[in-house]
Amino acid sequence: MAYSKEIPANPVVAIAGATGAVGREFLKVLHDLDFPAKEVRALASARSAGKKIHFEGCGSVPAGDLVVEEMTDKSFEGVDIALFSCGASVSRQFREAVLASGAVMIDNSSAFRMETDVPLIVPEVNPQDIEWHSGIIANPNCSTIQMVVALKPLNDIAHIKRVVVSTYQAASGAGAKGMNELYDQTREFLDGTPQEELTINAFKHQIAFNCIPHIDVFMDDASTKEEWKMVVETKKIMGDPSIMVAATCVRVPVLRCHSEAVFVEFDEPISAEEAREALSAAPGIVVVDDPFEAQYPMPAMMAGSDATYVGRIRRDSSVENGIAMWVVADQVRKGAALNAVQIAQLLLP
């Protein structure tokens, strides 16, 4: 059953997980987009209650400190939109409380993404799916988001048959602990600490000066859950179960921004120039593609930005109708907080 309550033009917004990396980014994005909020509540676990988080303000909310409240079932009374970034178990725990309050949950975890009555939305790709939500809307996996943003304009001119993607995912994809481990291990390594004595906690192996082809848990078919997410989420967002996707997801020693090498096979011919023109005209995409002048997207230069950057657009001659491209986006912004707030914008009257 579709959600029937109308979201007001100036909604009350709750940030669930406000003290985390994505929670804080939610606040930055609300300010940057000047989201027309009437009130913003910062919610977190009991141990964070009472902390203050500075907020630059948005809508009717002035700049100042937000006092973090302990998140309970009563926290959502009077809330219109709840932006969640607390992990799947917490999202499931508070699902009924959010729905009972009449709020809409926009959830950044994997808890509800593949439920049939929960739309999985990237506003540049499938904004129309907002119409059939029943109180919960899922934010896709960060790696999937940037890839489908780049796939949509290409699929509009030639149907996509198959996608092969290799990801180069930043340490911050594992949260603050991932970034800290990259910093700490790099110092240890450069200070001459033996490899076997490096501090390893956030990842299965050394991340400094290394690449780890292991993100999330391994499944029965020897793919990882991160790779599985890219497969099934792409089909759902694109609304096309016939698209075949093969993914290899790799953690690399980059602080922020995920990069992807994407190879796309189409049912009909498409030239590199046609692909470049379609990508250049698409919302949310910036094409940086002048390889002979060494111009292409790179994660170190894109941190903190909102766009999905595409470059190295060229023909893939290994298949009959193929295009290769390189896609970079900030996975904390477009891959999480920005995408969720853009979904919230779709809810406004």
Active site residues: 142, 258
Report the side by side order of strands in the sheet with 81-84: 69-70, 39-44, 12-16, 81-84, 104-107, 136-138
Nearest to 70 by CA among 87, 86, 54: 86
Type of residue at 45 = S
Q: For 137, what's the count of Cα atoms within 13 Å in the CB-facing half-sphere?
A: 30
Amino acid letter for position 51: K
> Could you give the strand order of the β-sheet that contains 322-329, starting from the edge strand earlier in sequence?
244-251, 160-169, 258-266, 322-329, 308-315, 285-287
Burial class (CB in 10 A: 0-12, 13-18, 19+), 319: middle
